[in-house]
């Protein structure tokens, strides 16, 4: 049992880091006052595009790059063509992104099919620890996620574009008065958030099965993490994702998946009662 708990804890950390990537993309989009309930579908589309790209190219990492680029520009197109004309009406944005869920799901169902599929991991070796063998690929995924999160931190807090993002989301009118191209900043930020979802989708594909409905579950998880950590908080997103990942990783050892998810929802309810803005949002 102790070995299983350790295994569940390690899996929880890796899953939490993947979840942090996906959720940070949603958090960036939410700071623009865009309630994008279709963010999980961008995660799903990234996984599906990655599946076909890897199948055609024969290599995992170039296929990951293709998925990132395609979903990035898909996000740009969504922001520019669908959300920009209704940017001042959150209810219409909510309805539009809700409609995108069905569009993406049915497109994926037609193109990808209804049967779950899995991408072969690019690294198949494992290392022995205690009484179990642990895949090296999962460790590599965790390292990649940490590197990307560090890069996002430096982008947001050490670059001019990061300053523009923070200024535009804090006070849009003042940012425009200071000469910041707010509309372009929002467009590229939405694309960046979509790309982060795609990265998470492809990296998780050798671990989880790909299916056309996988985005809906991810949307629920992402919103749980955002609310627990606090919208716009990089530290809150990371810690919130690790908390939820650990709850579900260790919970899957002690409980069934439904009960483990209920614990995550219970944590969400407690946070909403105690700290409605999130644990790390002032």
The answer to whether residue 282 scores a pLDDT higher than 70 is no
244's CB contacts (< 8 A; 6+ apart) are: 16, 19, 221, 224, 225, 228, 264, 267
Q: Percent of the chain beyond pLDDT 70? A: 99
- Using an 8 Å Cβ cutoff, are 8 and 250 in contact? yes
Q: To 5 degrees, how large is the angle CA 25–CA 222–CA 30?
A: 50
Q: Percent of the chain beyond pLDDT 90? A: 63
Q: How would residue 32 be classed by pLDDT, with cut points 50, 70 and 90?
A: confident
Neighbours of 196 (CB within 10 A): 31
Give the tokens for residue 74. 């898909």
Chosen CATH of 2-274 out of 1.10.10, 3.30.70, 1.10.3470, 3.30.40: 1.10.3470
Question: What pLDDT digit, counting tens, does each position of 205-260 carry?
Answer: 999 899 999 999 899 899 989 888 887 778 888 888 998 999 888 887 888 777 87
To 10 degrees, what angle do helices 234-254 and 214-229 make? 120
Q: Which of 274, 278, 260 is CA-nearest to residue 224? A: 278
Which residues share a beta bridge with 129? 132
The answer to whether residue 280 scores a pLDDT higher than 80 is no
The per-residue DSSP string of 97-117 comes to HHHHHHHHHHHHHHHH-SS-B
pTM of the model: 0.93
Mapping DSSP onto H, E and C, the string for 153-194 reads HHHHHHCHHHHHHHHHHHCHHHHHHCCCCHHHHHHHHHHHHH
Alpha-carbon Rg for the chain in angstroms? 19
The answer to whether residue 19 scores a pLDDT higher than 80 is yes
The answer to whether residue 79 scores a pLDDT higher than 70 is yes
Using CA atoms, how far apart are residues 146 and 183, in angstroms rounded to an integer?
Answer: 30
Q: Where are the alpha helices (DSSP H) in the chain?
A: 2-30, 39-57, 60-78, 90-112, 136-158, 160-170, 172-177, 182-204, 214-229, 234-254, 257-274
Q: What is the pLDDT of residue 8?
A: 85
Which residues share a beta bridge with 133? 128
To 10 degrees, what angle do helices 234-254 and 257-274 make? 140
Average pLDDT over residues 91-115: 94
């Amino acid at each position: 049992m102790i070995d299983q708990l350790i295994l569940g804890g390690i899996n929880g950390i890796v899953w939490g880091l993947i979840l942090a990537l996906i959720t940070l993309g949603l958090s960036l989009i939410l700071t623009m006052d865009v309630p994008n309930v279709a963010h999980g579908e961008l995660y799903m589309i990234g996984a599906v595009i990655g599946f076909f790209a890897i199948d055609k190219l024969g290599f995992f990492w170039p296929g990951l790059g293709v998925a990132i680029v395609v979903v990035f520009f898909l996000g740009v197109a969504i922001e520019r063509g669908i959300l920009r004309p209704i940017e001042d009406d959150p209810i219409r944005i909510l309805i539009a992104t809700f409609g995108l869920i069905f569009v993406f799901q049915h497109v994926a169902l037609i193109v990808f099919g209804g049967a779950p599929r899995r991408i072969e991991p690019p690294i198949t070796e494992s290392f022995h620890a205690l009484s179990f063998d642990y895949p090296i690929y999962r460790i590599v995924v965790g390292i990649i996620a940490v590197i990307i999160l560090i890069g996002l931190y430096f982008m947001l807090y050490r670059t001019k574009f990061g300053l523009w993002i923070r200024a535009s989301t804090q006070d849009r009118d003042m940012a425009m008065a200071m000469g910041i191209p707010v509309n372009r900043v929002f467009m590229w930020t939405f694309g960046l958030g979509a790309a982060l979802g795609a990265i998470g989708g492809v990296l998780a594909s050798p671990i989880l099965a790909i299916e056309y409905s996988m985005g809906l579950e991810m949307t629920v998880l992402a919103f749980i993490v955002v609310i627990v950590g606090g919208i716009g908080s990089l530290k809150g997103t990371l810690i919130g994702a690790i908390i939820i990942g650990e709850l579900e990783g260790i919970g899957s050892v002690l409980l069934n998946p439904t009960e483990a998810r209920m614990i995550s929802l219970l944590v969400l309810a407690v946070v909403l009662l105690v700290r409605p803005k999130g644990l790390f949002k002032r």
